[in-house]
Amino acid sequence: MAGPIGERHLGTLSELAVLVATGAATTRGALAAATGLSRAGISQRIDQLISHGLMVESGSSAAARGRPPLTLRISPDLGVVCAVDLGATRCRLALTDLGGAVLEHAVEEIDIGEGPERILARTDDLLGTLLVRTGRTAGDVRAMAIGVPGPVDFATGTVVRPPIMPGWDGCRVPAFFAGGYDAPVLVDNDVNLMALGEVGRHGSAEHLLYVKAGTGIGCGIVSGGRLHRGAAGAAGDIGHIRVPGHEDVLCHCGSTGCVEAVASGRALVAALREAGLEVNSTADVVRLVSEGNPPARRLVRTAGERIGEVLAAAVSFHNPDVVVLGGSMAALHEDLLADIRGVVYRRALPLATRSLSIETSSLGDRAGTEGGYRLALDHLLTPAGLGRLLGQG
C-alpha cells in the first residue's frame, strides 16, 4: 500500500507530473535532464507517483541493451475529467480519462438565453448520461471545466455582465454543481478554453491568438505558453472594438460600429436576409458561399477585411507566432482567410508578420472541450491539486 507523501515533496512531484503530462519529458532519464535531479532522486519520486496510481510506465526494459527506455504517462484509471463548452446555441460535453482519451461525448442544441438554471441543469443531466454510458459515477469525477460565451471572474467562476447571456450576470457556476460532485469546477470564457486546446496542437508556438468567429467574435490569448486573462478576465474581447466607417451600426452591447456588429455570423445572416435571401444561420451563409452566391461572397470578403483590420492591430500589439480562426465561420476557410490575411500582412508591422501563420483550427468543434481538459489537468497537477488527487488533503 502506498504511503503518504510529505507536503514539501508535492512541488517536485507536481513539476514531474506536468513534464510527463505535456510530453516534455516522458522517461526517467529525460526527467533527470529536465530537472537537474539525480537519477536516484527521480526514480524515488516516480515510484511514489506510480504506487499512488497517478502514473504508469510501459515499454521495453531500460536495462536491456539497445532497447528504448520505459515510457511514463498519466494513468487513465485514476478518474475522469468533464469538459463542457457552452456556446450561444450549442452545448458540447466530453468525458475524458486523466490521460486525455475521450471516453464519451455529447452535443445538444441550446439557447443560452434560457438562463443558468435550465442550461446548467441540462448540462448536469448530460454529464450523468455520459457517466452511466462509461460505467462511472459522480465520485469518479476529479475535475470539471466549463466554458461560457461571456466574461468570467476566473477565481470564483462567476459570470460578469455577459452581452449575449441574459439572466447570467452574477451567476456563480461552481455553486450549481457543488452538491453533486466532490471535485473542483473551473469556469472560464469559452474562447480561452479554445485557445488552450489549440495551443496544444502547436508545440513550438508560445504566443497564439485564437479568434472565434461565429454568432459573435472573441479572442483567446496565449502569451509565453500561458493563457492571458487580463486584470479582470476581459482580455481578448475584440468583438467590441470599433471599425471605422460603421458608426451607424448598433451593436447589441449598446455601442456602435463594433466589429461583431458588422462582421459576425449574426451580422452576415441579417444582411443577407435584408437582401431577400432565405438565411437562418451561419451554416446557411457557408452554404451560399460554397454555391458561389455573389451577394454572400461579397459580404464574406467584406467581413474578412473588417476582422483583418482588428487583427492587424492585435498582431502588432501581441506579436503572436500563430493566429487560429475557429467558430462556425471558420468553415468558410480561404473565402474568409484570404481577406483576413491580406489586411493583416498589409497593415501590421512587418517584423510582427515575418514568421506569422494565420490558419483555421485543426480541432474544429472540439477545441473548447480539448481546452477544458487541459485546464482541468493543469489544475489537478498543481501541488495543491496533486495533494487532493492523491488523497493527501
pLDDT tens by residue, 336-352: 999 999 999 999 999 99
Residue 388 lies in a domain: no
> What angle in degrees, to the nearest 10, is found between the helix axes of 294-318 and 265-274?
150
Same domain membership, residue 85 and residue 182: yes
- pLDDT of the chain along its 393 residues, tens only? 455 566 678 999 999 999 999 888 999 999 999 999 999 999 999 999 999 999 999 875 445 555 667 999 999 999 999 999 999 889 999 999 999 999 999 999 999 999 999 999 999 999 999 999 999 999 999 999 999 999 999 999 999 999 889 999 999 999 999 989 999 999 999 999 999 999 978 777 899 999 999 989 999 999 998 999 998 888 999 999 999 999 999 998 889 999 999 999 999 999 999 999 999 999 999 999 999 999 999 999 999 999 999 999 999 999 999 999 999 999 999 999 999 999 999 999 999 999 999 999 999 999 999 999 999 999 999 999 999 988 754
Question: Tell me, what's the pLDDT at 232?
Answer: 86
Indicate the pairing of strand 55-58 with strand 71-74: antiparallel
Same domain membership, residue 346 and residue 299: yes
Residue 298 lies in a domain: yes
Same domain membership, residue 222 and residue 251: yes
30: which 3 cell numbers?
Answer: 529525460
Looking up residue 372, the CATH number of its domain turns out to be 3.30.420.40
Question: Tell me, what's the pLDDT at 393?
Answer: 45
Distance, CA of 50 to CA of 47 (rounded, Å)? 5
The CA-based diameter of the chain, rounded to the nearest angstrom, is: 74
Question: Tell me, what's the pLDDT at 69?
Answer: 79
Contact 92, 73 (CB under 8 A): no
Same domain membership, residue 291 and residue 231: yes
104 class by beta-carbon count within 10 Å (0-12 exposed, 13-18 middle, 19+ buried): middle
Same domain membership, residue 165 and residue 310: no
40: which 3 cell numbers?
Answer: 536516484
Q: How far is CA 107 from the centre of its chain?
A: 16
Question: Tell me, what's the pLDDT at 1?
Answer: 43
Residue 392 lies in a domain: no
Contact 198, 210 (CB under 8 A): yes
Same domain membership, residue 70 and residue 27: yes
Question: Tell me, what's the pLDDT at 22?
Answer: 86
Same domain membership, residue 237 and residue 144: no
Residue 1 lies in a domain: no
Residue 40 lies in a domain: yes
Question: Tell me, what's the pLDDT at 2?
Answer: 59
Contact 389, 380 (CB under 8 A): yes
Question: Tell me, what's the pLDDT at 9?
Answer: 82
Question: Tell me, what's the pLDDT at 61?
Answer: 45
Instruction: Tell the residue number behind the cell numbers 481578448, with chain if given.
Output: 236
Q: How far is CA 147 from the centre of its chain?
A: 8
Indicate the pairing of strand 152-153 with strand 90-97: unpaired
372: which 3 cell numbers?
Answer: 477544458
Contact 259, 310 (CB under 8 A): yes
Closest-CA residue to 314 (of 214, 201, 196, 195): 195
The SS3 assignment for 108 reads: strand
Q: Give residue 229's domain range.
A: 202-361
Distance, CA of 5 to CA of 20 (rounded, Å)? 19
Same domain membership, residue 187 and residue 210: no
Same domain membership, residue 214 and residue 299: yes
Same domain membership, residue 84 and residue 70: no
Same domain membership, residue 119 and residue 69: no
Instruction: Tell the residue number behind the cell numbers 470599433, with chain if given.
Output: 242
Question: Tell me, what's the pLDDT at 204?
Answer: 75
The SS3 assignment for 197 reads: helix
Give residue-wise pLDDT tens across range 120-162.
999 999 999 999 999 999 999 999 999 999 999 999 999 999 9
300 class by beta-carbon count within 10 Å (0-12 exposed, 13-18 middle, 19+ buried): buried
Q: How far is CA 173 from the centre of its chain?
A: 17
Residues paired with 82 in a beta bridge: 95, 144
Domain count, the chain: 3
